[in-house]
A and B are shown apart, each in its own frame.
Chain A
Amino acid sequence: MAGTGEGKKEEADYKRLHSFPLIRNTGAAGVPLPPSHTDMPEEMRVETMELCVTACEKFATNNESAAKMIKESMDKKFGSSWHVVIGEGFGFEVTHEVKNLLYMFFGGSLAVCVWKCS
């Protein structure tokens, strides 16, 4: 918010800076977050995150294809049924199996929500 008045130079800056995948979960700094953020086990989370990054980079312009790719890969790796939402702005309320949710931001403007509910 602070950077709104600073002009476009900073905007370019933040686009470069904000390209890394950012998983929304209980932060390392101990900031109390809602209990049901990303709750996957470490190994699974890393794998899923890499998969999301790969998919989003591969289908940079087509979120639907990216979501489809993520969903299918997840179904194969961790069993059905996975659901994926990718978008720049959306609201949702989902029921997911515990320890099977990943909510992350990527590329500065994308939000990816992956969860399992069979």
Chain B
Amino acid sequence: MPNNAAASMRKGSTVQKVILPGAKSTKAANKKKDEDEGVDAADGWDEWTHGKALIKPPDQLELTEAGLKEEITRILTANNPHAPQNIVRYSFKERSYKPTSAVDQMAVHFVLEGSLLHQDSDEACRLRAKEGLPEETATVDTGAEPDEEKPETLATLVEDGGEVEEAGEEDRPDSAASKTDRKEPKVTNQFNFSERASQTLNNPLRERSCQTEPPPRSIFTATATQWEIYDAYVEELQKQEKNKEKQKASKKDNDKSKKKTMLMETQTDDITKVVKASKIFERMVNQNTFDDIAQDFKYFEDASDEFRDQEGTLLPLWKFQYDKAKRLSVTALCWNKKYQDLFAVGMGSYDFSKQGRGMLVYYSLKNSAFPEYIYPTHSGVLCLDIHEQHSYLVAVGFYDGCVAVYKLKEKGFEPMYKSSAKTGKHTDPVWQVRWQNDDMDNNHNFYSVSSDGRVVSWTLVKNELVFTDIIRLSLNGAVSEGPEQQPGIAYGTSFDFHKQIDYLFLVGTEEGKIHKCSKTYSSQFLETYDAHSMAVDAIKWNHFHPKVFISCSSDWTVKIWDHTINTPLFTFDLNAAVGDVSWSPYSSTVFAAVTTDGTVHVFDLSINKYEAICQQLVVAKKTKLTHIEFNPIYPIIIVGDDRGYVSSLKLSPNLRKKPKGKKGQEQPKGPDMEVAKMEKLLSLLREPEHSTV
């Protein structure tokens, strides 16, 4: 209140000073008078300058002294005279109108915002800086003075309406606004704030929907009537009666019919239906498992051969083995001429104290895990041969002297033909069998050689095996006519037929001799070569050159012969008993031999006449290699050992190198070239000995 009073006082004075012509109400005048009287000290400055010249408004009420001295008492109460006192509200509780006591009694008479600033305050400093008044002497009030007039004028103008209080009130926002607008456009607003917002990326929405198929429905139509129901029952009863009769009748036949149904069931449950599919599947699995081997088989060429000059290597590929034939040793190998991935393996034993069962199995390169065909035999297999044209026919010679022919087309484990004691079977182990061309009547026939000294021709006639003795071997060269001359027998261990000359064949014997025989002359040998000091294990004609053949023996040697010459052309000592030897199908000068120390020897006479170009140990120590065979097409060989394993090996490029034309001339291809190659070799040998040839 004192503040207010002071402010109003000053206001009053200014009004007096500046605005003279303004009309004044009595109320205002009274007020002014009160102020003037009460606070003269404050206005002393004014009075001092202007003297005591009192200016009275013309319409001022002239009062007498008494009137002036009269005391008019005014009592200020807290009651608002303008506030209504008879407000009633409906009370729902009492269901009647009730006066409300809560009336707003407050009336604002006057409001004035102060414009004084403490001179040390921040705002004052700022203001000063803005107006360029560095001196502290300058009062803040002076700066604010000019604009104070405006609100005052306004206030006084409104005063005419008679409501000072309200004018003041109205004054406030106006003045404040105008002040800030003009002078401090950039006063920092303490409520100023900045809003920052960010929005994260929303995951995109995706619609998924599916529809299920409704359960299948169908429509059913029928009519239920009494007669239909009746008919149905009658029919059913008749049926039942019939069934009863049938059952009585069928009880007798029951046993028979049961058997029939059983048979039917077993037929339908035949598992052989999936045989083909499962076979394909097995091969697929194997191909996957041994993929790297298959890749090697097809594409790998030993690059190091280029730097090795002449020597080559053998790359082991698949290994074939059958669990049930584990104890048996490989006694024969033969490739199928028609299906070049298929080969037959004869299993038996060379140990004469451990003879027993044998086995004939077929493997395919496409499935190294399990044989394609399996034929268990009672006696050990010692030799076999697959027919060249009819590749399903395989002739087998057994330890017990029997020969047999198996036909792959036939089901079951029994051979199609088998010799018996009646039909001229050998009395000793059969060491070699070999198919021959069909005879005049187009019957298949094959030859066999055995330790009993006989070479027998077998002919397949309808359903029996007809035998013909071709020759009986004897020690003395002269063939014994009488069957009783036991001591004269020479034990045949191997033979081979000439590729071109049909009648000509060679027989190797246990005592190391090789006899050249003819089918037509059963009484004598054409020639006898004193070849080896031990049994001749294998004897083979060259694939290309008609005169050359090779023989190997347990006396550690391999010998190459010209059948027209009595002495060997070449002799190679391999430092171990030689189990088998085989000419390569692609070159006349390449052959391979296996020895009992587990080594494969590959020779190429055109490259080295004295040493093997590859000697490689291919099986574990103490395992004896028994047989070797070249694949007719692919550059691989298979070797069998005495533990029943068959290993396939790939020949490195050096081992199947074609000879280069040394003087830049194009060499003729084909068999002629091979013959020429061999001939060249032979001529080199012959010249010192047979200068006349």
Interface membership of chain B positions 216-251, coded 1 if the CB is closer than 8 angstroms to chain A and 0 otherwise = 111111111110011111101101001100000000
B233 CB contact (under 8 Å) in A18, A27, A95, A103: A18
| CB under 8 Å from chain B, chain A span 68-115 | 87-98, 101, 103, 105, 108-111, 113, 115
Instruction: Indicate if the CB atoms of B220 and A89 lie closer than 8 Å.
Output: no
- How many A-B pairs fall under 8 Å by CB? 83
What B residues does A45 contact at CB under 8 A? none
B224 CB contact (under 8 Å) in A28, A90, A94, A108: A90
- Check: B215 CB closer than 8 A to any chain A CB: yes
Would A87 and B233 be within 8 Å (CB), given that A95-B219, A97-B215 are in contact?
Answer: no
What B residues does A18 contact at CB under 8 A? 229-230, 233, 237
| CB under 8 Å from chain B, chain A span 23-38 | 24, 27-29, 35-37
What B residues does A87 contact at CB under 8 A? 224
What B residues does A109 contact at CB under 8 A? 226, 229
Instruction: Indicate if the CB atoms of B217 and A89 lie closer than 8 Å.
Output: no
Would A1 and B225 be within 8 Å (CB), given that A28-B243, A29-B239, A95-B217 are in contact?
Answer: no
Q: Give A39's nearest chain B residue, CB to CB.
A: B218
Q: Give B237's nearest chain A residue, CB to CB.
A: A17
B232 CB contact (under 8 Å) in A14, A22, A93, A95: A22
Whole-angstrom CA separation of A95 from B219 in the bound complex: 4
Instruction: Indicate if the CB atoms of A1 and B217 lie closer than 8 Å.
Output: no
What A residues does B218 contact at CB under 8 A? 35-36, 95-96, 98
What B residues does A93 contact at CB under 8 A? 219-221
Would A98 and B224 be within 8 Å (CB), given that A27-B239, A105-B232 are in contact?
Answer: no
Instruction: Indicate if the CB atoms of A88 and B233 lie closer than 8 Å.
Output: no
B223 CB contact (under 8 Å) in A35, A91, A101, A110: A91
Q: Give B223's nearest chain A residue, CB to CB.
A: A91
- Check: A46 CB closer than 8 A to any chain B CB: no
- Check: A60 CB closer than 8 A to any chain B CB: no
A22 CB contact (under 8 Å) in B217, B226, B233, B243: B233
Return A77 CB to nearest CB of chain B, in Å. Answer: 17
What A residues does B215 contact at CB under 8 A? 97-98
A103 CB contact (under 8 Å) in B217, B220, B226, B231: B220
Return B296 CB to nearest CB of chain A, in Å. Answer: 59
What B residues does A89 contact at CB under 8 A? 224-226
Instruction: Indicate if the CB atoms of B232 and A94 lie closer than 8 Å.
Output: no
Instruction: Indicate if the CB atoms of B222 and A92 lie closer than 8 Å.
Output: yes
Return A84 CB to nearest CB of chain B, in Å. Answer: 13
Instruction: Indicate if the CB atoms of A103 and B229 lie closer than 8 Å.
Output: no
B226 CB contact (under 8 Å) in A35, A88, A96: A88
What B residues does A103 contact at CB under 8 A? 220, 222
Instruction: Indicate if the CB atoms of A22 and B236 lie closer than 8 Å.
Output: yes
Most buried by B among A97, A101, A111: A111
Instruction: Indicate if the CB atoms of A117 and B220 lie closer than 8 Å.
Output: no
A105 CB contact (under 8 Å) in B216, B220, B229: B229
Instruction: Indicate if the CB atoms of A115 and B220 lie closer than 8 Å.
Output: yes
What A residues does B223 contact at CB under 8 A? 90-92
Return B348 CB to nearest CB of chain A, in Å. Answer: 61
A-B contact pairs, 9 of them (CB 8 A): A14-B234, A18-B229, A29-B242, A89-B224, A89-B225, A97-B216, A98-B215, A98-B217, A110-B229
Q: Which residues of A contact B (CB under 8 A)?
A: 1, 14, 17-18, 22, 24, 27-29, 35-37, 87-98, 101, 103, 105, 108-111, 113, 115, 117
Known contacts A36-B218, A91-B223, A111-B224, then 10 further A-B pairs from the complex at CB < 8 Å, ordered by chain A residue? A17-B233, A18-B229, A18-B233, A18-B237, A22-B232, A29-B242, A93-B221, A95-B219, A108-B229, A117-B217
A-B pairs with lowest CB-CB distance, top 9: A111-B224, A91-B223, A18-B233, A93-B221, A98-B216, A36-B220, A105-B229, A89-B225, A36-B218
Q: Which residues of B contact A (CB under 8 A)?
A: 215-226, 229-234, 236-237, 239, 242-243
